[in-house]
Structure 1
Amino acid sequence: MKMRHFLLQAATLALVAAQPANAAAPAVAPSGNSAPLLDYAAIHHPVVARHGMVVSQEAIASEVGRGILERGGNAVDAAVAVGFALAVTLPKAGNLAGGGFMMIYDAKSGKTITIDYKELAPYAASRTMFLTPDGKVDLAAAREKRSASGVPGTVAAFELALKTYGTMTMGQVAAPAIELARKGIVVTPDYADSIHFAHDKLARNPAAAKAFFKPDGSEYQPGEVIRQPDLAWSIEQIVKGGARAFYTGEIARRMVADQQAQGGYLTMRDMADYKAVIREPLRATYRGYELVLMPPPSSGGVHIIQMLKALEGFDLKGMGHNSAAAMHLTIEAMRQAYADRSKYLGDPDFSKIPIDWLDGEAYARQTRAAISGDKARLSRDVAPGLAPMAESPNTTHYSIWDAQGNVVSNTYSLNYSFGNGVVVPGTGILMNNGMDDFSARPGVPNGYGLVGGERNAIEPHKRSLSSMTPAMIFKDGKPYVVTGSPGGSRIITAVMQVLMNVMDYDMNIADATDAARFHEQWLPDEVYLEPNGFSPDTIAILKRMGYRLEESSMTIGSTQSIMKSGGVLYGAADPRRPGALAAGY
């Protein structure tokens, strides 16, 4: 299966770079997003490189990034090239009309910055826009119709990153994606499965059906070639006119025309006024390491620090990795953090987030004190803390490290798989359904089961709360690990467990990636376990403690990570989803 998948890409990969001897074939899991039956006892060897490394969820995109690095581009150049390529090769998550978060470490200045390019609510949005007359949430309007789309941020962020920290032109970094879209890519089993899974959604939209199905309406099969000339045209417009071509040019006009004709909210003013925002990252220390994480409107950075601050008071390593004792403490820290997420997190431009309190030592002590030594708490008994007065599984992540020491961690998304399933006619561009990340009705769970509060209510030109969490560990003042993950509400816990595996349990990046994961998010009151990763004794002990355990039907995240040790880069592509590749040189 692995070799077949690799050979299917041979013709396409030749467009961007020759296959070097140290690149591993993509790790392949069962089709779809179901949890693979991983052999957690097996050793997953990382790809080793001395100059540069690209790790992404899709093999061709990783090769595109490596090709940019080999031609003298830096990590930011490669990150933008990978982002454009994923719009072609991983359309369920890669995108031009979605949003996300990018973290950049600039080796020359020693500075780390983050770029917030989350989608914005349109000016015409209102807190009741997705409510029916009887006060219920209209799920179709929030997830499937034109009204589900926020103002896209991806193109603005790519241009900002490239102009601020890159060394190449937009034409140079976008050229591989244009060629892939115009000449076509070989359909992999994963690509075919993703189209099959979303068949009904895509078939409802004529432009999406034209883009992703054959002229007779049938699905492309593995080994066949799919071409996307409209998407190639769109990327060419961006090369010629920069982000203005997307936000004020013909692409924007086509996007707005489709929205206005079909009940959407986006206007030319919405598009023209979009700005990606540079924000200072969150920083914290843990076990002698420095963590650098994404600030709000990402909820991940705040709550990873919150959870680790509480857990730092326990000897997790002495308890043993994924032992019942260590899992009990971690689950309870997760439970409290997700409860607090429901009340306190939102767009920092619209409300003050009590970060210092949530991530402070006093609240960590309070959290530790509330955890019983031998008994699970019930989520109904756990409320958000009282502050002092004063976020699809089909997201995608990639990590890049260049020879100069620049590092990029980028997570971006259309929200659900293929967004709302709408392709803008004549552009090949899939639209996001990021508006579902808002609390359409505070207190009612969104599509990921997350409960949001007033701070995440819909308001015009507000950014919705997100779980996307690009992350870095620093050691002795230098980047040591870069990681991130897709996974909807499970992103935060997936990323945290990789970080803990390195910092608490001294694992290398491959072992830290492969280790079985678990997830708890306050509501529903269940702990999800990846299959075949936990001993029967551990499961029995947790059940006696009162935990409701569920074997997850989906993998928990798909982390794409790099570790630098002894002057060598180690890349670990998560085997939980098919097609991922660590590509180094």
Structure 2
Amino acid sequence: MSGSFSRSQQTRKPGVTATSGGVVAAQHVRAAEVGAEVLAAGGDAVDAAVAVSFAIGVLEPWMSGPMGGGAMMLWRADENRAYALNYGMRSSTTLDPAHYPLSGAGKASDLFPWEAVLDDRNVTGATSVAVPGTMAGISAAHGRFGRMAWDTLLAPAVDLAKRGLHVDWYAALVIASSARDLARDPDAAAMYLDDGIWPKGSGWTALADQRLDQSRMAETLEQLAREGQQAFYHGDIAAALVRDVTEKGGFLSMDDLRDYAPVWSDPLSIPFRGGTVHAVPGLTAGPTLADTLDRWQAGYDAKDADTPAGYVARTEGLRAAYAHRLQNMGDHESPQAPGCTTHFSIVDRAGNMVAMTQTLLSLFGAKVVSGSTGLMLNNGIMWFDPEQGKANSLAPDKTCLMNVCPVIGETPTRRFALGASGGRKIMPAVAQISGHLMEQGMSMQDAIEAPRLDASGGAQVVADERLAGPVTDALAAHYPLALAQRLPFPFAFACPAGVMRAGTTNSGTTETMSPWGDGVAEPDQT
């Protein structure tokens, strides 16, 4: 396979460095700016995470929002320790598995190769909605570690929603990719489509300024700013969400919302190359990351990390770890699935860190908008296998199995917060970037920009075309191999965002090809 590609063009995204302030790296630069402004106002990394979480739910409404779920890792500099927080989605206590009969029509139409369910009820529509956790998770983190007022932190998201998301070329492309499904829900069509059919777009002129009407979302965010999670899980917003979901045929009750609680835990602390990687335990990709890193340490020496043999050993470790995951955790997401999630990483001037991943699961989640609240609904029910008798079979009141993998890593001289979006591709990206940082001493920018491979299930290994040559020759001798180009859309690999602290210097960046993502340093307030 040597010499298969020859390209002279190179694309780089310069990272940002701050010697006296914090850094935010997020999949939307405006959300990163919001977080950096919070840090400049004296906020903790957790305060910035609250502001970024809500802002990015407005700016990437097809990726995440209050109706989603996820997990985060936190580092507290004053305690010199990490915390894990899981706020994944759950199935409703009222869910009836009999409502999801297999159709006999082959495999499902989205991320997971489950047996198809009648009318794709577990994939799209209100029947695919699970109990959300993002609001509870970010509220719990703020209650424990936040310093700034809750309403102040939500104010930027409210302002962004009142203005409405500008539909540039990338937003128009994303909307167009799901327009057929969005057209099935009147509330989703009203927000994202013209005449209920055509995706919104700003036309052929750069001066056009078409925006989504997110005014109803703005009203909901204003109420959340005033009343906090009480309104979302107990009050008016909860009642509106239950009404909208059930009227559209789904399963959600007031008891589901009232009883939801995020889970604090000690992290998985994984020894690796003289350092430690802290990850979220439980039904996440954290246990599979631990398995992978253990296999890597046994499979090759750190000095061989950048050799063809090192790439083969990492590939074999990933394949073996995913084989164990598939057998024991019931995660069968397709390795070719795009995965629609958002991740951001934050470090403040004191060295506190947050790595936070939040998701609606599929792009646009259930493809359904709650008309009363303006919020896009998740399709977390798709995480479950609709066939009964499996490790991850669909059932009421059950925790969803996620592929999220936020981490805090540390060596004797540096510490980093890292994560990614991209479904099954998330963990391999986090593992490889962590390896670049801890085995080869790369900067965060170089580690994220370095070519990666994906071996997250299935026989085929996918390698960045920049590895063409001895590395791909060695891989092809062991596995079916495909080369892929790093593009803005669709992503062949995951979309990471990371920050690093060395001494008192902070740095950060995001996936090079992410059209909107960037790292932003805390503005100088002098």
Q: Structure 1-normalised TM-score? A: 0.79
Q: 1:38 to 1:280 in 2, by over 3 A?
A: farther
Q: Are the counterparts in 2 of residues 297 and 346 from structure 1 also a CA contact under 8 Å? A: no
Q: Are the counterparts in 2 of residues 526 and 550 from structure 1 also a CA contact under 8 Å? A: no
Deviation, 1:192, is 2.0
Does 62-71 or 180-189 show the bigger shift? 180-189
* Distance (whole Å) between structure 1 residues aligned to residue 41 and residue 484 of structure 2: 45
- Matched with 1:173 is 153
Give the aligned length: 491
* Distance (whole Å) between structure 2 residues aligned to residue 306 and residue 215 of structure 1: 50
Does 287-296 or 563-572 show the bigger shift? 563-572
Picking from 53, 56, 73, the partner of 1:83 is 53
| Pairwise CA RMSD | 2.4
Q: 1:207 to 1:397 in 2, by over 3 A?
A: same
Q: Does 1:568 align with 2:502?
A: no
Q: Are the counterparts in 1 of residues 66 and 134 from structure 2 also a CA contact under 8 Å? A: yes
Q: 1:69 to 1:395 in 2, by over 3 A?
A: same
Q: Which deviations, in whole Å up to 9, do the C-alpha atoms of 1:208-228 show, x marking residues without a partner? A: 122223578651316414241
The AA in structure 2 aligned to 1:245 is A
Q: Are the counterparts in 2 of residues 127 and 457 from structure 1 also a CA contact under 8 Å? A: no
- Matched with 1:463 is 399
* Distance (whole Å) between structure 2 residues aligned to residue 460 and residue 63 of structure 1: 40
- Matched with 1:119 is 89
- Matched with 2:111 is none
Secondary structure at the aligned position of 2:31 is classed as helix
Q: Does 1:558 align with 2:495?
A: yes
* Distance (whole Å) between structure 2 residues aligned to residue 287 and residue 54 of structure 1: 27
Q: Are the counterparts in 2 of residues 471 and 482 from structure 1 also a CA contact under 8 Å? A: yes
Q: Does 1:539 align with 2:472?
A: yes
Secondary structure at the aligned position of 1:233 is classed as helix
Deviation, 1:277, is 1.4
Q: Are the counterparts in 2 of residues 130 and 137 from structure 1 also a CA contact under 8 Å? A: no
Picking from 174, 196, 201, the partner of 1:220 is 201
Q: 1:441 to 1:233 in 2, by over 3 A?
A: same
Does 134-143 or 78-87 show the bigger shift? 134-143
- Matched with 2:108 is none
The AA in structure 1 aligned to 2:462 is Y
Picking from 247, 270, 274, the partner of 1:284 is 270
Q: Are the counterparts in 1 of residues 190 and 196 from structure 2 also a CA contact under 8 Å? A: no
The AA in structure 2 aligned to 1:417 is L
Structure-to-structure mapping, 1:87-102, within 5 angstroms = 87-102=57-72
Secondary structure at the aligned position of 2:102 is classed as coil
- Matched with 2:36 is 66
Q: Are the counterparts in 2 of residues 515 and 533 from structure 1 also a CA contact under 8 Å? A: no
Structure-to-structure mapping, 1:489-568, within 5 angstroms = 489-522=424-457, 524-530=458-464, 532-549=465-482, 551=484, 554-568=491-505
- Matched with 2:173 is 193
Unaligned runs of 5+ in 2: 1-5, 106-114, 332-336
- Matched with 1:46 is 15
The AA in structure 1 aligned to 2:291 is Q
Q: Are the counterparts in 2 of residues 65 and 81 from structure 1 also a CA contact under 8 Å? A: yes
Q: Are the counterparts in 1 of residues 11 and 512 from structure 2 also a CA contact under 8 Å? A: no
Q: 1:400 to 1:107 in 2, by over 3 A?
A: same
Does 155-164 or 542-551 show the bigger shift? 542-551
Deviation, 1:189, is 2.3
Q: Does 1:266 align with 2:203?
A: no
- Matched with 2:295 is 310
- Matched with 1:473 is 409
Secondary structure at the aligned position of 2:182 is classed as helix
* Distance (whole Å) between structure 2 residues aligned to residue 583 and residue 489 of structure 1: 27
Deviation, 1:550, is 5.2
Q: Does 1:430 align with 2:414?
A: no
The AA in structure 1 aligned to 2:201 is Y
* Distance (whole Å) between structure 2 residues aligned to residue 333 and residue 320 of structure 1: 13
* Distance (whole Å) between structure 2 residues aligned to residue 320 and residue 163 of structure 1: 42
Q: 1:123 to 1:503 in 2, by over 3 A?
A: same
Q: Structure 2-normalised TM-score? A: 0.88
* Distance (whole Å) between structure 2 residues aligned to residue 40 and residue 466 of structure 1: 36
Q: Which deviations, in whole Å up to 9, do the C-alpha atoms of 1:309-339 show, x marking residues without a partner? A: 1211344444352x43122111111111111
Deviation, 1:344, is 2.2
The AA in structure 2 aligned to 1:549 is A
Picking from 221, 246, 251, the partner of 2:232 is 246
Q: Does 1:137 align with 2:143?
A: no
Q: 1:499 to 1:109 in 2, by over 3 A?
A: same
Percent identical pairs in the alignment equals: 28
Q: Does 1:339 align with 2:308?
A: no
- Matched with 1:487 is 422
Does 178-187 or 206-215 show the bigger shift? 206-215
* Distance (whole Å) between structure 2 residues aligned to residue 256 and residue 42 of structure 1: 46
- Matched with 2:314 is 330
The AA in structure 2 aligned to 1:539 is T
Q: 1:422 to 1:133 in 2, by over 3 A?
A: closer
